[in-house]
Each structure stands twice: as C-alpha cells, then as structure tokens.
Amino acid sequence: MILTSIIIPVLSLVAVFLFAIEKFSRQIRRVADGGFKRTLRKITNKPLSGLAVGTVFTSIIQSSTATTVILAGLVNAEIITFYHSLGVIFGANIGTTITSQLIALKVTSIAPYFILLGFLLTYFGRKYKNWGKPVFYFGLVFFSLSLIALYIEPVRSNPEIINLFAGISNLFVALMVGLLFTAIVQSSTVTAGLVVVLAGSGLLDIHQAFGIILGANLGTTITVVLASLPLGREAKRVAVGHTLFNLLGILILLPFLDSFISFSSSFSSNIQQQVAAAHIMFNVIFAFLFLIFIKPFANLVRNIVK
C-alpha cells in the first residue's frame, strides 16, 4: 500500500525535481555563461572578488558542480590560474545554499505562479522570450518539492518509515547517505532541497538533516574529479582543491558539531529554517576561513598534485 500510494509517487516527483533543476541550470547558463567567463577573466585576480563571483553565479545557476567544472576548463585553457580559481570555488559553496534558503522561506507556495509566468513569457513575451524557460523550470523545481511534502505528510507517524529514517541518526551514516545520493544525482542542491523538505515533514531532525548536507558537500566534488581526469595538471588541482576544501571543512567542524548545531538552531524554532541556517553558516564560515589561509592551502594542493 505504502509502495504504490506514497513511495512511487514520491520517487516520480524526485525525478521531476532532478529534471527541473538540471533544465533550469542548463537554460540559465545559456544566458549567463559568456558573461561569467568574461567576469572571471577580469576580476579573479583578487580572492575576495573571486568568492563574490562564485557565490553570485552559483546562486543563479544552482549548481556548484557546474561552476567548478567550468572553472576546471578555464584553468586547463590557461585563461585563469589555479590560485585565482580558489576564491570562486569557496564562493560556489555559498551560492549552492540558496535553494534551502528559498524552501525555508516558503517559496514553494508561489511556485505555480513562476510556472505560469514562464509559460506566458515563452509564448507571448517576445522581448523576454529567452527567460521563459528558466522561469518555468525555476517554478517547477519548487512545485515538485511542494508536492513531495504533500505526499510525505500522511506517513509521518508510520512506524516503518520512522524506523527507516531513524537509522540515519548516526553521523557517519548521515554523511554517507548525503555523499552517495549526491554522487548519484550529481547535485548537492537537490540533496539539500530534499533534506529541508523531509525535515519540515518531521522525518529528519536537525542532526540528521545537517549530517546529510555535510555528506552532500563532499559528494558534489566527485563529478568535478571525474571531469578533470582527462585534463592537465592545473585542472586536476582545481578538482583536488574543491574536494580538499569540503573535506577539511567537515573534519575541522566535527569536534564542535553539537555546539554549532545548537547555535544555528537558536535563530528559529522552525526546523526548515534551522537546517537552512546551519547550511549557509557552515559554508560561509569555512569559505572565509579558507580565504584567510588561501596561500598555504594552494601550496598544499600543489604538493598533493605534483
């Protein structure tokens, strides 16, 4: 009964979510890619400006993986240096938190309006026709999440479902769930979005949710590592830098994890906002921390990738 009435529809909606966010990212990149590359060439000579570019661009296209893959290609082509790419990588982690923030702010409730607006722009907005599809898919991303929440609502008290999610209470299990799921769907944004929805439905507590998000931060690096394999040494350094940045951030946080979660939870009584706050705080804190130590970090990566 649960399989046909809940699990299959939810999995179908997850597929719609994946489709929508991939399409949205692709459509918006068609508009933004050229400008992004020109901007990178101009202002990545300073790590702080690189961080700003990475944050803004990733916020727009909703894919830190796409940002980092583009970076690896630009570094491989010697358009920018590996050192100057690091600020953009740090910023990409901040930019990828925007979906969880929007879900926590209940943007899902106005998703149908974006779908309708995107449809109208595609067919009737001659001047803004190119923005029709991105707006449509943006709405579809959050509309699919709102439907997932509706299907999950009736099973909040189901003992089988509760036992399934209870197994994620172990931090290592939560990390692995986030890592493996993100490696499969190739998007930490997708993982974070689903985690916030599940937390809002009462199936995940703040510790479980944040553990999965930490795993997602690490899982999103796998695609970039694979993309860099046929490229040159500097591009491989971009991939290793991205991976090491996320891994070290998790390892540094672990001794302070409970205190960090307690602090981030103090800003709101709403668990979705707590998860979103923990997500953005973690990425912002470690982006600026690594920005301070960017030179020794760059040297560490160079020593790893000779």
53-74 tens-digit pLDDT:
889 888 887 778 778 888 888 8
What gap in Å lies between CA 177 and CA 301, rounded to an integer?
27
pLDDT category of residue 146 using cuts at 50, 70 and 90? confident
Report DSSP state, residue 5: I
SS3 state of residue 82: helix
Q: Specify the pLDDT at position 298.
A: 94
User: What ranges in the chain are assigned the alpha helix state H?
Assistant: 2, 8-43, 47-61, 64-76, 82-95, 98-104, 111-124, 132-152, 159-166, 171-185, 188-200, 206-219, 221-228, 233-253, 257-265, 271-292, 294-304
What is the residue range of 192's domain?
2-304
Of residues 296 and 45, more confidence is placed in 296
CB 113 within 8 A of CB 76: no
- pLDDT of 49 strictly over 70: yes
pLDDT digits (tens, 9 = 90+) for 117-130: 988 888 877 677 77
pLDDT digits (tens, 9 = 90+) for 238-286: 999 999 999 999 999 999 999 999 998 888 888 899 999 999 999 999 9
Domain count within the chain: 1
pLDDT digits (tens, 9 = 90+) for 218-238: 988 888 888 888 888 988 999
What gap in Å lies between CA 105 and CA 89, rounded to an integer?
26
CB 144 within 8 A of CB 13: yes
pLDDT digits (tens, 9 = 90+) for 6-34: 778 878 888 888 788 778 877 776 765 56
CB 219 within 8 A of CB 182: yes
